[in-house]
Amino acid sequence: MERTPVRRIPWDIFLTLLVPFLLGLGLGLVYSWIISPTRVIDSEPIALRADFKSQYRSAIAAAYAGTGNLPRAQSRLALLGDPDPIEALNAQAQRMLASGEIQQAGDIAALASALESGPTANTQPSPSTQIVSVVPGISTATLLPIQTDIPFLFTETPQLIQTQPVIIESTPRPTRTLVPTLGAPFTLTGQDTTCDTNLPDGLLQVLVLNSNGRQMAGVEIRITWDAGNEQFFTGLKPELGNGYADFIMSPNTTYTVQLGLGSDIASGLTPPACQTSSGDTFTGGIKLTFQQP
């Protein structure tokens, strides 16, 4: 039984077909990647990368801090398409606090708090001042005033005198910049002693909630004692909660804690002495809970 020979494409014909194909492919890639790459124009903010979205939120928070215009901030945040804009702002404030960007984190946390509380009556755009001026370099013609004690002299054309232009300048009045706040003052709703051997000795735990019972990140906590003072913020340990913060107290030291001007003050805080089931003593802790009314 004879086999039918397999017909193969000659090598020179194969090269003749392959070389133009590879050459065209290479030229197409060079044109599309280098000579005329694709450009995205007028894309929506929802199409931005995650890091660019964070920059966009920072710009919105900075604009809100300068104008206090909450409806405009809400419309701009809606362009990002976040499922929960408040949660996205709180998460970004936590990341900024962890990286040391305290000022930007405060602006973002203030915007998140304002969105939760809703617009207030004093949220208004700053008034603008209009400056009126005359462009120099253009001469104006002024008619001579007519005096009543001199007889009229009728001429074909009135006499003109070239005068210098008058430049009217006005100094803009200072405008009041609305500074966003974190809402109503906080109320101390809980103060408990903790005796847990699994926790560090002298641990002060602070939990901050808004009026809806949600934890708030980026809230400044001020603690003072006889030898000094310190500030720390909620949200630096998101695994324990957005509104959680802690501080290690020293034994035999009395502390005072306050969240801001007008909030309740937790004073006379001293690490308690606790005992284990076997009778051993150790230094316990204190847990404070603050909430907006």
Q: What is the pLDDT of residues 115-127, one digit of tens each?
A: 887 765 444 444 4
- pLDDT of residue 133 exceeding 50, the answer is no
**Pairing status of strand 203-209 against strand 285-291:** parallel
List, for residues 156-177, the tens digit of each pLDDT value.
544 555 555 545 444 455 444 3
194 in a structural domain:
yes
pLDDT value, residue 141: 41
**Angle (nearest 5°) at CA 103 between 211 and 53:** 80
| pLDDT greater than 60 at residue 11 | yes
**Whole-angstrom distance, CA of residue 17 vs CA of residue 157:** 91
Structural domain contains residue 122: no
In this structure, what token pair is assigned to residue 76? 């701009």
- Residue where one domain finishes, among candidates 117, 138, 153: 117
Is residue 271 a part of any domain in this protein?
yes
Identify whether 274 is part of a domain: yes
pLDDT digits (tens, 9 = 90+) for 243-289: 899 999 999 999 999 987 678 999 999 999 999 888 899 999 999 99
| Residue 283 and residue 192 share a domain | yes
Residues 226 and 229: their CA atoms lie apart, in Å, by 8
| Domain boundary pick from 59, 90, 117 | 117
Residue 123, token pair as written in the block: 């949220």
**Residues pairing with 162 in the sheet:** 141
Write down the pLDDT at residue 65: 86
- Tell me what pLDDT residue 190 has: 93
Residue 62, class by beta-carbon neighbours within 10 Å (0-12 exposed, 13-18 middle, 19+ buried)? middle
Q: What is the mean pLDDT of the chain?
A: 77
**CA distances (Å), 125 to each of 52, 64, 101, 131, in order?**
27, 10, 27, 19
Helices (H), 99-174: 102-117
Q: Taking residues 9-13, what's their average pLDDT?
A: 71
Over residues 198-209, the pLDDT tens digits come to 899 999 999 999
Angstrom distances, CA of residue 223 to CA of 12, 93, 202, 263:
85, 21, 14, 13
State pTM to two decimals. Answer: 0.47
Q: Who has greater pLDDT, 51 or 151?
A: 51
For residue 105, is it within any domain? Answer: yes
Residues in the chain: 293
Q: Which amino acid is at 78?
A: A
Helices (H), the chain: 11-30, 50-67, 70-78, 85-98, 102-117
Specify if 144 maps to a domain.
no
The boundaries of the domain holding residue 74 are: 45-117
Do residues 193 and 275 lie in contact, with contact meaning Cβ atoms separated by under 8 Å? no
Mean pLDDT to the nearest integer, 74-102: 87
Report the pLDDT value the prediction gives residue 8, as an integer from 0 to 100.
Answer: 66
* Within a domain: 34: no
Whether 204 and 287 share a structural domain? yes
| pLDDT computed for residue 140 by the predictor | 43
pLDDT-derived band at 9, boundaries 50, 70, 90: low
Residue 163 lies in a domain: no
Domain end point (choices 100, 117, 134): 117
Number of structural domains (the chain) is: 2
Q: What CA–CA distance (Å, rounded) separates 56 from 43?
A: 14
Q: Alpha-carbon distance 194 to 190, whole Å? A: 12
Residue 191: CATH number of its domain: 2.60.40.1120
